Amino acid sequence: MGGHLFFSITACKTGKVLKVGEDSKKELTGKARVDFEYVFFNGNKEKMLGNYDLAEILFSQALKIDPNSAATMYELANIYAFQNNKNQALFYSKKAAEIDPRNVWYQMLYAECLKESKQPAEVANVYKKLVNDYPDRIDFYYELANAYLFANKPGEAIKTYNRIEERVGVTEDASLQKLKIYKGTNQFDKAVEEAKKLIKTFPKEGKYYGMLGELYQEKGMYDKAFEAYNELLRVDSTNAYVHLSLADYYRNLKQNDKAFQEIKIAFKSKELDIDTKIKILLSYYSITETYTELKADADELCKIIVEVHPDEAKAFSMYGDFLYRDKKLEEARIQFRKAIELDKEKYALWNQLLLIDSELNDYSSMQKESKEAMELFPNQALPYFFNGASNVQLKNYKEAIISLTDGKEFVFENKPLLAQFYATIGDAQNQLKNYAASDSAYDKALENDPDNVYVLNNYAYYLSLRNFNLEKAEAMSKKCNELSPNNNSYQDTYGWVLYKMGKFEDAKLWIGKAIENGGKANGTLLEHYGDILYKLGDSDNALKYWIDAKNAGGTSEHIDKKIADKKLYE
């Protein structure tokens, strides 16, 4: 409902309990008073029960009986504010405040409604009155100062903060606001004066020395900044934050080695919170993309953070992110596993761990860790996919199909991912020789992602192996090579489909391309080329390619017989 104040008439801090009708310009008597009190009482009851629509009706009826009841207007304004009806809230709160100008709650609600209506100058007028009426209420001075700031009257705000200081002495809140205003209005000397005033009042509070030093740094007054930081170290030798300030100081002087030494001192302190350290490391993460010579520094800081904060998952995951980016996959995985030991409920950590398992082709780990992630996050799709994919690689095809079938139900508005689920189901069903189910899964994969080259290639190749629907296989393989040219695996598939269709010259052309395009040591490609040459009547060269294929490895079970008999077997 917009977070509006919802004042209660019974919560008056002045100790005065408002009685119905006492604020009326004309006192109600007799039946009118009884009727008013009855309706007003029921309105309050319904409001307390949360029945605001009914309460609004009852208060409106009460207002008809007594049009000058500030209490009723106040209650209506409260309801409208709660309902985010800004115009009505402002109207009734203003009426209540005008009828009973000494009632603090009416004035405060009116000010709040003015705030919501973005009338800072009017808000200031209300609080100016409240400050005059209640000079001991320091909170009203702060509200007045805030109103002046919103009304773009920084000078008036400063005067108000000075009045607070006159009444209660130097306070952090007022002085920091003044310092901020002075900085924003380029009044450097006054900002320095305010920082020094805080230091004089709170000589053991280290952060004020840091503020003073930063003011000097911003003005290029590095000697004075250095003095302020050293004074802070004298006051608080264990203050970790001053070392970050000193790091900025040395960096501005282009003394980067000294700057890094200060950052290390800060990182080694448990007083410096881990979130600040993470922010610094994130800045290193960005800058080391360009300035790779700083990677060693980042690595050193990562080692410090995990040593100083051994119970913080985010320390290990941050280090893992750096290692992963630098392709140090095994080391990155160690860090993510440590992070997960500390916080198993962070899904992002599991996701990153499973990605690393996948990139390492460690299917046993991927199977085990994805299963645990599935149990912890049963509504997340990716752990099911990783589990299915790892089981396919481990030849656990039935288990793979179960995981993938379950997991695809949790894929929402992500067609490429859904296509991957169906494609992997297709692979598993093909291995089980459930060809109809396999073809159906591949078709669904292409419905979701028509340009998925992996599916286009595999589907075409498996159809060619079965001598089934070769025209469809040819169209898919052709499209695959158009989408991803110069891939020897895809070229081989296209050539093999053409071979199965009896288009031997075209097949020779495409498998020849595959061999020239990085496939000269690929036994499957070489054997295929030999088969094509045999079909074209070049048995001598066919034999040479079969022999080369056998030496390369990865051939069919017929290769020895082909070589021995110098004859094609399929």
**Whole-angstrom distance, CA of residue 468 vs CA of residue 500:** 10
Q: Tens digit of pLDDT per residue, the chain (570 long)? A: 334 344 443 333 333 333 333 444 457 778 888 889 888 999 989 889 888 889 889 999 889 999 999 999 999 999 999 989 999 999 999 999 999 999 999 999 999 999 898 999 999 999 999 999 999 999 999 999 999 999 999 999 999 999 999 999 999 999 999 999 999 899 999 999 999 999 999 988 878 888 899 899 888 898 998 998 888 888 887 888 889 889 988 988 899 999 999 999 999 999 899 999 999 999 999 999 999 999 999 999 999 999 999 999 999 999 999 999 999 999 999 999 999 999 999 999 999 999 999 999 999 999 999 999 999 999 999 999 999 999 999 999 999 999 999 999 999 999 999 999 999 999 999 999 999 999 999 999 999 999 999 999 999 999 999 999 999 999 999 999 999 999 999 999 999 999 999 999 999 999 999 999 998 999 999 999 999 999 999 999 999 999 999 999 999 999 999 999 999 998
In the block, tokens 């992070």 appear at 339
Domain ranges of the chain: 203-267
**Whole-angstrom distance, CA of residue 19 vs CA of residue 564:** 113
Question: 256 with 293: CB under 8 angstroms?
Answer: no
CATH code for 203-267?
Answer: 1.25.40.10
Question: 341 with 369: CB under 8 angstroms?
Answer: no
DSSP state of 300: H
**Whole-angstrom distance, CA of residue 209 vs CA of residue 180:** 15
Closest listed residue to residue 262, CA positions, set 277, 279, 245: 245
Name the maximum alpha-carbon separation found in the chain.
124
pTM summary value: 0.70
**Whole-angstrom distance, CA of residue 471 vs CA of residue 463:** 10
Report H helices in 23-136: 30-48, 52-65, 70-82, 86-99, 104-116, 120-133
Angle, vertex CA 384, rays to CA 378 and CA 387, nearest 5? 130
**Whole-angstrom distance, CA of residue 480 vs CA of residue 484:** 6
**Whole-angstrom distance, CA of residue 401 vs CA of residue 466:** 22
| Residue/partner pairs of 438-441 with CB below 8 Å, 24 or more apart | 438/462, 439/463
